[in-house]
Chain A
Amino acid sequence: MKQYKIIIVENDEDEQMFMKEGFDSSGLFFIVAQLKNGDGLIEWLGNHNDELPDIILSDLNMPGKNGYDIITEIKNNPTWSNVPVIITSTSSTRTIIDKCLSMGAADYVVKPDTFVEYVPYVKNLHRLIEEKQLVK
C-alpha cells in the first residue's frame, strides 16, 4: 500500500497527539508536518517548496487562518494548487460540508467520536484517497 506524505493542520494539541498516534500506528501515512493553523501551514509551505506533501488534512475551525482560508490559499497558489486539501471536522452539517467542497476541498471527513478512535479513521481516510484517486 502506498504511503502518503501528509501535513496535518489542527489547533488542539491533545487532538494532535492522538492523531499522530493513529497515523503513525497505521503506517499508511508519513506525517511531513503538524501545524496549528493556516498561517503555520502557509509559512511552512513557503519554506518547503521542494518538499510538498501528497495531501493536506486540515481542521476547519481554528484561530487565525481557518480551514476555509486554507482551501482558498492553496487553490489560488499555482505552486501548491495541485496538493489536495481534505477537511476534517466534528461537524456533520450538510451545508458546511457542501461549502467546503464547493470551495475546492478534495473531500470532507467527519472526525471520530473520540480521540481514541483514530485508527479506523486513518484506515478509512487512506481507502478514500485510493478509491477517489485524490492524489495524482
Chain B
Amino acid sequence: MTTNCNLLLQGITDGIVMLDVDGYISYSNPAVSAITGYSSDDLLNKHLTIFYSSSDESIKAEYELGISLKKGKFLSEGWRYRKDKSRFWCEMLLSPLYDEQKRHIGFSCILRDVTEKKKDEIELRQNEQRYRLMVQGVRDYAIFMLDTTGHIISWNEGAKRIKGWSANEIIGKHFSNFYTAEDLEDKKPERELRIAVSTGKYEEEGWRVKKDGSVFWANVVITALFNEQNKHIGFSKVTRDLSEKKESEEKLRQSEERYRSLVEQVTDYGIFMLDEKGKIISWNEGAKRIAGYEANEIIGKYFSIFYPDEDVLNGKPSYELKVAKAEGKYEEEGWRVKKDRTLFWSSVVITAVYNNDGIHIGFSKVTRDLTERKESEKALRESYQRYRELTEELRHTNAELSYANQELEQFTSIVSHDLQEPIRSIKSFLTLIDMKLGERENATLKTYIEKAINSANRMKQLIQNLLHYSQLSKGELMQQQMNVNDLINEALQNLKGSIENTKAQILVEADVQEIEGDRVQLVQLIQNLVSNALKFTDGDTPKITIQCKKERDEVKFSVTDNGIGIAESDLKKVFEIFKRLNTEKEYPGTGIGLSICKKIVDRHQGQIWPESKLGKGTTFHFTLKQENTARPLTQ
C-alpha cells in the first residue's frame, strides 16, 4: 500500500508538496521538480513562498495557508516562479493535514502548471477585446446586437454616426425605431427577425429612419445568433448607409435620361441606332425631321431605306457598316433619300458601338442634312459674284466719275474764260458807249446803258461766285494756326465799306485764342455771314455779335444779328445753292454766299445751322473740329 502510494506520488504529473504547520516544505514529489526546476533537496525546509515572486509575498502565503486551514482548502491561480525565475500560471490547492488525533500537522499543496491553458484563455480574451473594440470603432457600418425580441443590447460608433442615436439613448429600445411608418404598419421588423431566425440571416436594401426623422437608403443584414447549445440568443444587425451610392445611381439614371431625351430632341441631327445587322432600333426628332419617317414606321427597317437605288445595288449600305466595324467609324457626304423619295445632301457618320464587355452591339448613325448648307454656300457664292459685279460697277462708276471730274474741270475753265470774256467785252463796250454819250445825249438812253452795265456786273459776279463755290471742293485744305481775333478782324476789314455805310455796331466776344483751319476759307466764311447780317435788316441800325467759344473738341462761332429773321419753314433752304428767300430788289445777292459757307464748314468737319424767328433776328452757328490746338483765351 505504501509502495503503491509512493509510486502514485512519484508518477503523478501534478506537483505534490507537503508543508509543515508554518509552511515549510517537508516533501516534494518529482513532478514539483519538473514543474519548478527545483530539486527535492533544493526545496526541503524552504518556505512555500519560494514559488512566489518575492519574499514579500510571505504575507500572501500566510494568508492563503490561514484560509485553507479555516475553510478546509484554498484554491488559487496565479503566476508562480521557477528556479530560473521564469514564471508559470499555476493552479495551487492548499489543504490542511491532520494526524489521527486530529492535530494539525501541516498542509498538502498541489501545484499544476496550466500556463498553456491560460495562454489560450488570455488570447481569447484579447481577441474578444480586440473584436469588441473593432466593432465599436467601425464608423462606416452600424453594427449592433439585438436580443431575441429585437431590443438593442449593443451599439457602435457607426450606428451612432449613421442613425444619430448615442448608445445610452438607444440601448434597451426596440429596433423597430429604425423603420418607416409604412414598414411598421406592414410589420416588417417582426418579419425580418422571423426570416433571420428561420434562414440564418435576412438581407435587404431599403429606407430606414434616423433619429432626426430623416430617411436614408440602407443596406441591412440581420444575422440570427445561436450559442454552442444551438439556442437562439439574439441577432446581430449590420446597417450601411447607401444614400451616396443611391444618389450616384440616381445621378447616373438622370444623366442617362437627360442624354436620351437630349438625343431624342435634337432636331438638327438625325441620331439613331442600328443593330449589328443594320436594322434601325432607335429614332430621334432630328431623324424624323430630316428623313420624314415617324419612329414607329421606321424602327425595325433596314437602314438601306435611306439610300438611292443605285447605292443599294452597289451594296453601299453594308459596305459602310463593314468599314465602320473595321475602322471604328465611317464618314461621308452623299445623297440620301427621304420618305417622300426626294434626295437630300447628307453628312453621315456611322460609329460602331460596343457594350462594356467589348461585344459589338450595333452602330450609331448621325446624319445631317447639308442641303441648306449647300444652298447657303451657293448663296454665298452668288453674293460673292454679286459683290464682284458691284466692285466692277463701282470701278466703272469711279472711272466715269473721274472722267466727269475732268469734264467738270474743263467746264470750270470754260466758264471762267468763255463766259467771263464775252461779259467783259459787253461791259467794256457799254462803258465805251457810256463814255462817248456824254451828258448832252438822251438821258433815257444813258439810263438804259447803266442798267445794261449793272446786268453785266451781276452776271460777272454770279460767274465768279459759282467758280469760287466749285473751287472750294478742290485741292488740299490748308491747315494753319491763326489768332481768332485776327481772323475776325480780317473779315471785318474786307467789309469795311458796308460796315461804315450801315453804321453797324459790331461786338466781338472771343473766348478762344487760336484755332486751326484754312485761313482764306475761314475769312470768307465769317465775311459772308457778317455780310448777310449787314444786308438783311429792316432799316434799323445793324447790331451784330460775333462769339467764339470752345466746346469739347470743337470751336463754336455764332454770328447774331437783329435783322429780318428767317421763317421756320425756310430755315432748311438757306444753304441751297442759288436759293434766294428775298427779292433781288430788296436784298441784292447771288444766292451762293451761304452755300459757300456750308461748303467751307463741311470741309472743316463742322456743322452750320441757323437759329431764327421771323422779325427777331438770326444767329448763324458753326463749329470747327479742332484736333488739339484750340486754346482757351485764359491759358
Contacts and interface: CB of A to CB of B under 8 A. Distances in A.
Interface stretch (A24-32, A84-92, A101-109): A84-92
Nearest to A14: B425
A114 B417 contact: no
Interface in B379-407: none
Contacts of B417: 60-61, 89-91
Given A90-B424, A93-B467, A111-B424, A116 B416 contact: no
Contacts of B475: 95
B582 interface: no
Interface in B415-464: 416-418, 420-421, 424-425, 427-428, 431-432, 435, 464
Given A95-B471, A114-B427, A90 B432 contact: no
A114 B421 contact: no
A91 B428 contact: no
B431 A96 contact: no
B471 A94 contact: yes
Nearest to A15: B425
A97 B412 CA distance: 13
B585 interface: no
Contact of A113 (B421, B424, B435, B471): B424
A90 B416 contact: yes
B431 A95 contact: no
A114 B431 CA distance: 8
A95 B421 contact: no
B474 interface: yes
Contacts of B467: 91, 93
A44 interface: no
A93 B432 CA distance: 27
A115 B422 CA distance: 12
B413 interface: yes
Nearest to A114: B428
A39 interface: no
Given A96-B413, A116-B435, A91 B424 contact: no
Interface in B454-505: 464, 467, 471, 474-475
A115 B428 contact: yes
Nearest to A91: B416
B432 A116 contact: yes
A114 B453 CA distance: 11
Contacts of A113: 424, 427
Contacts of A15: 425
A116 B421 contact: no
Contacts of A130: none
Nearest to B453: A114
Interface string A54-89: 000000110000000000000000000000000001
A12 B432 CA distance: 17
Nearest to A96: B416
Given A61-B421, A116-B435, A93 B416 contact: yes
Nearest to B457: A113
A12 B428 CA distance: 13
A91 B431 CA distance: 20
B424 A61 contact: no
Nearest to B417: A61
A93 B424 contact: no
A94 B467 CA distance: 10
A128 B407 CA distance: 35
B300 to A, nearest CB: 87
B296 to A, nearest CB: 85
Contacts of B427: 113-114
Nearest to B474: A95
A114 B421 CA distance: 10
Contacts of B464: 92
A91 B420 contact: yes
A116 B431 contact: yes
Given A116-B428, A116-B435, A12 B474 contact: no
A134 B412 CA distance: 30
B421 to A, nearest CB: 6
A117 to B, nearest CB: 9
A114 B425 CA distance: 7
A114 B417 CA distance: 14
B413 A114 contact: no
A90 B428 contact: no
Given A90-B416, A115-B428, A116-B428, A12 B421 contact: yes
Given A96-B413, A111-B424, A114-B424, 4 more contacts: A12-B421, A60-B417, A61-B421, A90-B424
Interface of B: 412-413, 416-418, 420-421, 424-425, 427-428, 431-432, 435, 464, 467, 471, 474-475
Interface of A: 12, 14-15, 18, 60-61, 89-96, 111, 113-116
Smallest CB-CB A-B distances: 5 pairs: A61-B417, A114-B428, A91-B416, A115-B428, A90-B420
24 contacts: A12-B425, A14-B425, A14-B428, A15-B425, A18-B428, A60-B417, A61-B421, A89-B417, A90-B417, A90-B420, A91-B416, A93-B412, A93-B416, A93-B467, A95-B471, A96-B413, A96-B416, A111-B424, A113-B427, A114-B424, A114-B431, A115-B425, A115-B428, A116-B432
